[in-house]
Structures are given as structure tokens and as C-alpha cells.
Amino acid sequence: MANKQFDGEFGSYPAEHIAPDEFPPPPPEITPPGGTSAQESEGDGKGSQKDRLRTIIKTLFMPAAALILTTTVIYSSYGIDLINDFSRIDDKAFYEESSFEESGVVSDDDVSGSGHGSHGSGEESDGSHEEESSAEESAAEYYTVVWRAEDGTELGSFSAEAGTTPAFDGEEPYKEPDEQYTYTFAGWSPEITEVTGDAEYTAVFESTLNTYTVSWLGDGGEVLLTETLEYGASPEYSGVRPEKAGDAQYSYEFTGWSPETASVTGDAEYTAVFESTLNTYTVVWYGAQGEVLQSETLEYGADPVYNGDIPIKPADSEHIYAFTGWSPEVTSVTGDAEYTATFADSLQSYKIKWYNEDGTLLSEEYVKYGNTPSYGGSTPTKASTVAYEYTFSGWSPELTSVTGDAEYTATFSSKRRKYTIRFLNEDGTVLQSTSVYANNTPSYSGSTPTKAMDTQHTYSFSGWSPALSAVTGNADYTAVFSSSARKYTIKWANYDGSILSSSAVAYGTTPSYSGTPQREPGSHYDYTFTGWSPRISKVTGNATYTAQYSETDLFPTLTYHAPDEAEKMVEIMYNDSSVMLTKGYTYAGADISTDPHASYDESTNTLTLNGITCNGIYINSMGSDFKIKVLGTNIIGNLNFNGAPRIGGSLMIEGTGTLNIGNGYEEDETGIYMSGSNGETCLMICRGVTVRINGSYSALDIYSTTMDTPLYYCGGISIDESLIHTDMLDDNENEYFLVIMDDNGDYITSVTFGG
């Protein structure tokens, strides 16, 4: 692939060799003598000079040239000559052919024709096309040649002219030797050829098998043999068989090499290994007359033992002889050895025997006549019984001077035995330790043993294991406990945390509550017991279970909420004035103001009445969530409620006070009049509030509502519910009204809710 070209103002050149600011400036517009520019001469029959100029410039900017061009234009009376001064700046750089239309020197129109004469003469072309062709044929292309190490690492790269043979001018490639081979650079792959395109050459190496030194060492580290072997060869010792000199204790036999021989992978040392054999020697035992009593072969280090009859030396008329040992003193075998029996001579002696109380022979000895025998063995013992211990006290009969063979028997004194009795708690703790005489029954005098209760049980001391009995030896008695299920406090709480009942229940038992918890109804909610939280499970500790209830709303769910732009209005009317608590209609009365006995909370859409006395309250478009909260005793003439057209609005009366409606200000008046404006409208009266409604015309009238049940109340009512009538308005299936009438069809003028 040819080198990337940079497209400049006057042609293309290699971007990596010539910066744009090194390119020569554009030639000035050529104006021949007489003041006519190249552009002005177009079409005047004088295009030959322009053609020649374009051809020469194009030739000078061909890719093969890689020149910096300086052009001088000389005007003559007959035409334009072009003198070029150029120099080579980089043997790898080149220019591509470029048009100069943008410079204004030559345009496509200037070179589109052929055969034009010279300036002002109409002469034929002087062969400029041949010059252009010759320059193009001499253009050379360059390609990238990359040199790489065997592992693909780039060692270098350069641009090489097509047709040349590239050569690597860096340091000779090198490959690290490894355990098996040493490597020598051998050339390139593929074989280097003339450049015809981009090429990559990878270094190739010859490998030489490495050699290593193998040394064979004796047991003392001395070198027995050294040899040089190639990697992978199997070493084999070819020298004299290794030997190791024996000593008094051992003889040695060659058995192999350490470490075990293996194929050559590096310098190695092998050390001779020998097996040792313990040496044997002859030991001879001789009697008093030089006779051989015993002869044997023993290993080095063994302790020789004479196994024959005790050597004897016959008595003579004067002495008797007793064997005393061997000469020299018997020692461990370190070589051949001879031992000779030795004897002591003494006066004639008599046999003295020593017996234990049970008749066991303790020892016997010979004592010279006239000497008093003395027992030299271990102190005689008598086994203790459960009740007594025995101590050696002497011999029977009493010892006397030897006059012949004699026998003596050991005698003992007795002592009553005591034993250690320990009382332990169940966990092994020592509660009491005391000594008690044999055959007595021990007793515990400490504090009553205890055992800590665990999650499941409590414990009480019940006795000892094993059962107490007469002492016959050291003994441990361990406290025994009876267990009973541990009890935990189980509490049953109502929804508000009040404790309904509490009792102690045994571990593992499932607790139960007697009865059904109750929750007082809310202002307009009823509650039904549904179970306990957490879920009842077997007792594992103290626990509290809380009653859970489902909630039933006695009032309907209404959806309309008056938007901010609705003309909401709450107006309190007095004899000669009114108080506007919301923005209302602009013509409805005074600006928004305050009343000492009434307030409106926009965030909850609630009107609070506290001890008010007024002619009436007018409510308009307050939405379905509007509420009147009643505190204290309140008296109003009437209550007039209007819902938004076709949307409606509802009224909830809540609180703990009393609301008396209808004080006789006007005749033919309804205590509470509600108009749903053909929308969702109803009256809801909560528990806890008392609402007394009086009207000179009727007590309650709910008109033009889309709800077939427009009245809800949670407390009591002072009239028979059958007197409350709901019917469709003018046979409109979607619109209802509510009135309270007696059996004669007369309106009920007084009704009380709650109280």
C-alpha cells in the first residue's frame, strides 16, 4: 500500500514527511506583457502557453519527484518561459499530481483544448504532453517494510521504494536461550525479496542442544567422575565401583546414587549411596580351670550375657569358693572378647532364708558361722485390705548368730484406712472433699447443689449418684437434679399496647388466649379481630402477642377533590355581616377574614367550629373531602351546601362537640340543605359528635345527587330509620334526593344524630 498522502492547497504529498507549512506558496497570478492575465486570455487563441505551464507544473508535482518547487515566470515578447529550481528533501517523500484550479494559475478550461498556438502567434504545441508522460512513467511507489522478532515484537519499520531490496539496519535479532537450546540468528522469514508491496519479515533462529556437566561423588564428597552430556541424555556412571571403608561397627556395600539418576536438564551431581551392615565378634567365657563355659557370636554394641550354670570352684579343706563375676568387667561388644570367672574364698557358710508373712520366699543367702544374719532385700510388704493398711515391723523368730541353716518370717503392724470422698456438682465442680474411715458411710455438709436453668428447663437437687454407701475406697458422688419445664411470661396486648392478659406458660407449650379481643370503633370505622402478631408458636421465651384487626370504612370512598381554580367558598353569616374563610365568589361578601370561633385548614379541607353562634353557614364547591370538625357547643341558623355542577361534593361532620342547626331565624327553612348539582354528594356524620337538626320546613334535604345512598351516620338517630326516604329525582335514573317524612307525608322538622 502506497504511503498516505496529504491533500494540500496545491497538490498531495506524504503527510509523514512534509508539513503543510513547508510547502511553497502559490505562484502569483501570471500577467504577460501588455497587462493581459491568464484568465483574460482564455478563448483568445493564445492557450498554448497556458497548456505548457499546466503541463510543466503537473510534471514537477508528480509523486516520483518529491520536490520543493520554486517557479519563476519570465515574460518575453513571444510567450512564457518557466524556469524551475528544485531540490530533493527526503528520499522517502513524494508528491502526487495536483490541479491548480483553486490557485488561479491553471484551470480545467485552460487545459481542456489542444493544439493552441503560443501567445499571440497560434503556434502548435511544442511537445509538452510528451514531457508530462515521461515524468509520470518515472514516478516511484513506496511501501512499508516491518521487521519483527520471533514472538511478533516489532523491531523496526520504514518505507522502501518499490523494486529495491530492503535490508535490516538494526541490531542483530536475539533470542534468549532456554534450558534445552541456545539460539543463533539465521535470517528472515519469508526470504527477503524486492519490494512490491507492504511486507513483514520475522527473525528466524537456529537451535543448538545445550550440554551440561554431570559429576559423580563419593560418600565423602570426593569427585569420582566428571562428564559432559547433552540435554535429555541419560547419565550412566562408567568409573570404578564406589567403595566405603568399614569401621569397628559397620561394613558398607554400594547400592546406588542420590538423587536417583534422571535425564539431563542441567548441571547435576550424584552422590554414592551405601548400605551398612553391623559387624559381629566372638565372645568366649572361661571357668576357674580355663575351661570354655560358653562361646557366642554377637553384633557390635550388643551386651554379652553369660547364660550357663553359675561357675563353681570346688571347695578344699580350708575354704569354700563363691563365684563373684568375670574378668575383665563385661562391656558392650566392640571386638572379639574373653571373660574368665572370678571367685572369692571364705569360711564355711550356712543358708539363711527370708519369707514374707504369706510364705513367699523373699530371699536366701549364706552367712558365715558365728555372724548374725541381716536381710538385705526390699522391705517386705503386706497388701492392704479395704479396712487396714500394714507396715513391716520385724522378723520371727528374732535374729540370732548363725549356727546352722535358718528361716525367718516377716511380721507386720496394722492401721485402719481412710479414703477421700468427693461430692461433685453435675458440671464436675468439687463441692466438698473429705477423708472417711473405711466401712463408714459418708455425708455431705455443704450448700444444696444447684444447676442453672436453661431455655427449656429449671432444675432442683434430688440426690447423689451413686447412692451413698459404706466407704470401701476413694469415691466421687455427683449431684443429681430433677427437671421441670421452664415457664415464660406470655402477654396478650390489644392494638394500642394495653395488656389484655398475662400468664406463665411452660416451655414448648402452645399458648392460647381465652375470648376474642375487641377494638372500639372509630369515628367512621368498625374493626374486626383477625388474629395475633406475631403468629402464635410454641413457647421458647417471654413473648407478647398483639391483636390484629381489619378496618371497615362505614363511609363511601369519594373521588372528587376540588381543584385550586374551583370557586371554593365557606361563608359564615351573621345578622348584618359575614365572614369569608375561603376565596369564594367575588360578589359573595367580604374578603377572606377570620372568625374567633371558626377556622379553615386548607391542607385538610376542614372547617373547625368551636363555640360559634351565627345565622348560617354557606358552603360551595369544596369537593368530596370537605369536613366540619365540631368542638364545644355550636348554634347556627342553617347549613346550605352546594356541590360543583355535575361533580358534586360531600360533607363529613366529625368531632366531640355539639352542633345545633335551625334556631328559627326564618320560616319555611330547611336545617341542612344540600344540593349535589347532579354530582356525587352525600352527608356523613361520624361517631362522637352530636348533630341536632331543626327546620321550620324540614330538618334535612339532600337534592340532586347521583348517589342512591346520600346519608351515612355512625351514631344513633332520634327517629325511625324508615322515615328516611331516598328516591329518584323526576324519574332520572342517575339523580336522587333524600327527605325525612312521617307516615302522613309530612316533613320531619327535627332529627338528632349521636348524643
DSSP symbols for 435-493: EEETTPPP---SPPP-----SSEEEEEEEEES-----SS-EEEEEEEEEEE-EEEEEEE
* Pairing verdict, β 12-14 and 67-75: unpaired
- 383 shares a domain with 235: no
Q: What pLDDT does 45 receive?
A: 39
Q: What pLDDT does 237 receive?
A: 93
Q: What pLDDT does 709 receive?
A: 93
Conformational region of residue 50, where left means phi above 0, alpha means psi within -120 to 50, and beta covers everything else: alpha
In a domain, 354, yes or no: yes
- 730 shares a domain with 598: yes
- 228 shares a domain with 251: yes
Domain residue limits at 225: 211-278
In a domain, 683, yes or no: yes
CA distance 340 to 359: 38
- 747 shares a domain with 710: yes
Domain edge (last residue) among 394, 416, 438: 416
In a domain, 563, yes or no: no
- 719 shares a domain with 573: yes
Contacting residues for 609 by C-beta, under 8 A, at least 6 apart: 597, 598, 628, 629, 630, 631, 634, 657, 659
Domain edge (last residue) among 496, 528, 553: 553
In a domain, 564, yes or no: no
Q: What pLDDT does 584 receive?
A: 56
DSSP 3-state of 104: coil
User: Could you give the angle at the alpha carbon of 657 between the alpha carbons of 651 and 660, nearest 5°?
Assistant: 70
- 108 shares a domain with 14: yes
Give the three cell numbers for residue 68.
Answer: 520543493
Q: What pLDDT does 211 receive?
A: 93
User: pTM surpassing 0.95?
Assistant: no
- 234 shares a domain with 151: no
**Low-confidence residues of the chain: pLDDT under 50:** 1-137, 586-590
In a domain, 748, yes or no: yes
In a domain, 253, yes or no: yes
- 501 shares a domain with 447: no
- 578 shares a domain with 708: yes
Q: What pLDDT does 560 receive?
A: 73
Cβ burial of 321 (10 Å; 0-12, 13-18, 19+) is middle
- 225 shares a domain with 300: no
In a domain, 163, yes or no: yes
- 653 shares a domain with 613: yes
Q: What pLDDT does 575 receive?
A: 86
Phi, psi of 254 (to 5 degrees): -65, 135
In a domain, 216, yes or no: yes
Domain edge (last residue) among 524, 553, 582: 553
* CB count in 10 Å sphere of residue 79: 19
Q: What pLDDT does 189 receive?
A: 93
If we measure between CA atoms, which residue out of 218, 247, 213, 254 comes closest to residue 230?
Answer: 213
Q: Quick one: how far is CA 38 from the chain centroid?
A: 82
Task: Provide the CATH number for the domain around residue 493.
Answer: 2.60.40.4270
Domains identified in the chain, total number = 8
- 613 shares a domain with 703: yes
